[in-house]
Every structure is written in structure tokens, then in C-alpha cells.
Structure 1
Amino acid sequence: MSIWKKQPILESLARNAENTAVARLGIEYTEVGDDYLRARMPVDERTVQPFGILHGGASVLLAETLGSVAANHCLIRDNLMAVGLDINANHIRPVPAGQHVYGTATAVHIGATTQVWQINITNDKDKLVCASRITMAIVPRR
């Protein structure tokens, strides 16, 4: 059974990301399942730190992007929005430039006032790179 109240559509997600940090870092939404949202991000000059490996902040940006977009597609009313309240990330292994990382957001809790999402980021070999969790606050849309 699908968790989405508003079905995410890859083309619409890409259009909404134009002229944002998401587009500038090369993040592409790749898959929507009944209970997950997936995207990939290149590890290149936009996303590496000075040692030539994936910057932890880029991983967090990917995680927050996926958690936020997913959360907003699970809202029961159009006059609400989900905003980040807290995020954490455990960086497990480095990823050198020239690869991609893949983030998958899955819901831990979808409530009326908060949502919690787990975002696992893996490398080209499907090994865990970063485990992140975001808590979203559900607030009135302004």
C-alpha cells in the first residue's frame, strides 16, 4: 500500500529542483516506490572536500532533500508543509570522486505534527556510505 497522499512524479520533482542547490549539486530523482523515494548525486568537484572524497555536508544535503520532498508528499492537507526540525548523519565510508552515491528515503513515522525519515546513502557497489535520519515538523503553509 502506498504512503503517498500526493504521488511524487519524477518529472515534477526535477522541475521543482531547477535553480536550487539540488540542481546545482547534480542531484537527480531516480525512483519512486510505494514507500520510498530515491535519488542519485555525482561525487565530483561540486560535492567533494579538499581530500577528493565526498563531502559530509553534500551527503546531508542529499538526505535532507529526500526526506523533505518525501515528507511533503505525505501530507493530508494542502495548507500544510513539512520543514526540517532535526537531522543527523553517520558517515560510514569515503567515496572518491568519479562515482555516484544513491540516497533512499523511507518513513519511520508519519504523524500529524511530525514525521521521521531514514535516508541511507550507498555507493556504486551498494555499500552504505551514510546513514541519516531527519525529523520533520508539520506546520501551516505560509
Structure 2
Amino acid sequence: MIFDKENVLALCNKWCKNTLMETLEIEYIDAEEGMLKAKMPVNSRVHQPMGLLHGGAMVALAESVGSAASLMFINTEKQEVRGIEISANHLKSKREGTVFGTAKIIHQGASIHLWEIRITDEENRLISLCKLTNMVLPRKK
């Protein structure tokens, strides 16, 4: 199968309609085999009470990009993906601008995918480092 970056991005962005990803304004912006990148604006919609980017919003970005990335490795007509574990280490705070979530495959098994997701800012400074485990399941009819 030939990797089609434009098709992957179009499909990921289409799947965001009427979801949390749309609410958080997550947009998929880059892809290659074993990597998917998305961006999310940092504004009051994703702030915690102190005016900083909420850790939960970063985890939502990480799980969104990591789960979507697993779709590149499965037959979406016969299989589906479920996130089963996520961890995050928040290293820096951010008040405004944009953050980018880049998922890179660590392990691609038949039923388990392990992803490292780096949340960075516009200057490529590491804001959060996340790890996501996805399970590949047969699609229910």
C-alpha cells in the first residue's frame, strides 16, 4: 500500500467534525509513515483557572493524534482503535499561541500500537511528553 499524505490528513480532519477535536480546534497538519502531527490553539477555551494551558487539553491533543495515527496501520472497514492507556509529563506551561502534537510509532504490533507524542510550542520547545497505548479490535457490524 502506498502512503498518501493528503488523503490521511483529509480523512483525519473529516473525522473531527462534531467531536471533541472540533471543539478544541485540533487540526491535522502533517503526516508520513509512522508519524502524524496536529496543532491546537492555546486560548481561554483550553485554559485552566490560572490562565494556563490545561493539562487535560494537552492529553486530549495527545490521545487524538495518537489514536488517529493508529488508523494509518489498520483496515478501517474491518478494524477499529481504542486508546487503553495514556501518560503525560507536563514540562512547561503556556498561556497563548499554538501547540503541536507529533505522534511517532514506538511499537506496531498486530493488536497493540505504542506511540510517543511530543507536545511542543511554536519554537519547538517541549511542553509535554506523552505515551499512548492503542488496542486494535475487530470492527463490530
Give me the TM-score of the superposition, normalised by structure 2.
Answer: 0.91
- Bigger mean CA offset, 73-82 vs 56-65: 73-82
SS at match of 2:48: coil
Per the TM alignment, residue 8 of structure 1 is displaced from its structure 2 partner at its CA by: 4.9
User: Does structure 1 conserve the Cα–Cα contact (< 8 Å) formed by 2:58 and 2:128?
Assistant: yes
SS at match of 1:39: strand
Per the TM alignment, residue 34 of structure 1 is displaced from its structure 2 partner at its CA by: 2.7
Per the TM alignment, residue 42 of structure 1 is displaced from its structure 2 partner at its CA by: 0.5
C-alpha separation between the residues in 2 aligned to 1:12 and 1:114? Answer: 22
C-alpha separation between the residues in 1 aligned to 2:134 and 2:17? Answer: 23
Give me the TM-score of the superposition, normalised by structure 1.
Answer: 0.90
C-alpha separation between the residues in 2 aligned to 1:52 and 1:107? Answer: 32
Task: Give the structure 1 partner of residue 88 of structure 2.
Answer: 89
Task: Give the structure 1 partner of residue 9 of structure 2.
Answer: 10
C-alpha separation between the residues in 1 aligned to 2:134 and 2:93? Answer: 27
C-alpha separation between the residues in 2 aligned to 1:15 and 1:141? Answer: 20
Structure 1: stretches of 5+ with no match in the other structure: none
Task: Give the structure 1 partner of residue 54 of structure 2.
Answer: 55
Per the TM alignment, residue 12 of structure 1 is displaced from its structure 2 partner at its CA by: 2.2
SS at match of 1:9: helix
- Provide the aligned C-alpha RMSD in A: 2.1
C-alpha separation between the residues in 1 aligned to 2:110 and 2:76? Answer: 10
Task: Give the structure 2 partner of residue 119 of structure 1.
Answer: 117
User: Does structure 2 conserve the Cα–Cα contact (< 8 Å) formed by 1:53 and 1:94?
Assistant: yes
Could you list the runs of 4 or more consecutive aligned residues of structure 1 that deviate by over 2 angstroms after TM superposition? 2-9
Structure 2: stretches of 5+ with no match in the other structure: none
C-alpha separation between the residues in 1 aligned to 2:59 and 2:131? Answer: 10
Identical counterparts, % of pairs: 36
SS at match of 1:50: coil
Q: Deviations over 1:59-85 (max 9, x none)?
A: 000000011001122115731111011
- Residue type of the partner of 1:106? K
C-alpha separation between the residues in 1 aligned to 2:139 and 2:133? Answer: 18
C-alpha separation between the residues in 2 aligned to 1:77 and 1:28? Answer: 20
Per the TM alignment, residue 33 of structure 1 is displaced from its structure 2 partner at its CA by: 1.8
* Within-5 A mapping of 1:1-142: 8-76=7-75, 78-97=77-96, 99-142=97-140
- Residue type of the partner of 2:70? A
- Residue type of the partner of 1:69? A
The number of equivalent residue pairs is 140
